[in-house]
Chain A
Amino acid sequence: MAKIMTAALIMMSLSYPLLLAKDDWEKTRSIAEAQHEIVMLLIKNKQYDKVLPASKKILSLKFPPDREHLLVDHARIACAALSDQGNYTLAHQILDEALKAVHNKKSKATLYKEKALLCSKNGQDGEAMKFLEEAVRLEEAP
């Protein structure tokens, strides 16, 4: 009986950091989920001065590397909405903040492609080419 109890205690102690990490992630995810809705509502209502600070709240959250792509998705969705409204400057600012927040090369490459797309839509083909080249450089890097 004592052996069983000891084994159970050991297993609980081992799984505790995992449970704690899972709990932390759930908290982070929940904040990000709500904050993303706020960002999209602000864009919809054209309250542009509040968009970047609201987006920064998401981008400053501690995201594990394997979930970093969610930050990229947030930036892409916000940018698509902003470019629909012709606010390319703010879209670039969000992408720049996202570039600071992510560390994965693939994530950075995707964000540079999004910047290239924005530039191309805005008739800045030269700038678009530079961002595309940067994206390709990151994708090709080992």
Chain B
Amino acid sequence: MDGELDSEDAKRIQAHVLACKSCNAEYQSLLFAYNLVAHVRLIESPPRAWAGIESRIRTAPPKRGILRNLLFPNVWVPVGALAALVLATGSLLWVGSSDDRSQSRAMQQVLRTYIQERDRAFGGNVHAVNYNPFRDNTRRPKDNPFKAE
């Protein structure tokens, strides 16, 4: 294509390209691009354009104003991180407290049942009855020892 090969190599490659379909396709594609580039007209950039680009590269980015920094500080990243942390902790605590609540409810239910059983055993509310567990209720009252039996 560029005339860089000697005649022997050029003939050998030309013969291969004519015989090999895939190499021929590749050659045609390259030839098309080669012709395309050959027809493109190059435009020289003006010398001042480079000077402008260089000055923009070397100049520091404009500073944020003091007022802007005060009113809108660039703290959104830590604020966002903190908010995410608070959210995660809150949800963990909520899940934990939910478990605690259900456990506490179950415990209260067991204790309520126990109180009912206890009150039944004492024949009423244990707080209200004047009950002596050691009293022998089978004995006859001894209010009057002379009472005729």
CB of B133 within 8 Å of the partner chain? yes
Can you name the residue of chain B whose Cβ is closest to the Cβ of A129?
B107
Q: How many residues of B contact A (CB 8 A)?
A: 19
CB of A105 within 8 Å of the partner chain? no
A132–B136 CA distance with the chains assembled, in angstroms: 32
A76 near B110 with CB under 8 A, answer no
A125–B104 CA distance with the chains assembled, in angstroms: 7
**Which residues of chain B are near A80, meaning CB under 8 Å?**
126-127
B111 near A116 with CB under 8 A, answer yes
Partner of A74, one of B111, B115, B133: B133
CB of A23 within 8 Å of the partner chain? no
CB of B64 within 8 Å of the partner chain? no
A1–B114 CA distance with the chains assembled, in angstroms: 61
A58–B118 CA distance with the chains assembled, in angstroms: 21
A117 near B111 with CB under 8 A, answer yes
List residues 87-142 of chain A with CB under 8 A from any CB of chain B. Answer: 113, 116-117, 120, 125, 128-129, 132
**Which residues of chain A are near B63, meaning CB under 8 Å?**
none
**Which residues of chain B are near A26, meaning CB under 8 Å?**
136
A76–B136 CA distance with the chains assembled, in angstroms: 19
Can you name the residue of chain A whose Cβ is closest to the Cβ of B135?
A33
A133–B118 CA distance with the chains assembled, in angstroms: 18
A84–B111 CA distance with the chains assembled, in angstroms: 17
A33–B136 CA distance with the chains assembled, in angstroms: 9
Q: A80-B126, A84-B127, A120-B108 are in contact. Are A36 and B134 (CB under 8 A)?
A: yes
5 inter-chain pairs at a CB distance below 8 angstroms, sorted by A residue, are A26-B136, A33-B136, A73-B121, A74-B133, A125-B107
The 8 closest A-B pairs by CB, nearest first: A73-B133, A33-B134, A32-B134, A70-B133, A80-B126, A113-B114, A80-B127, A36-B132
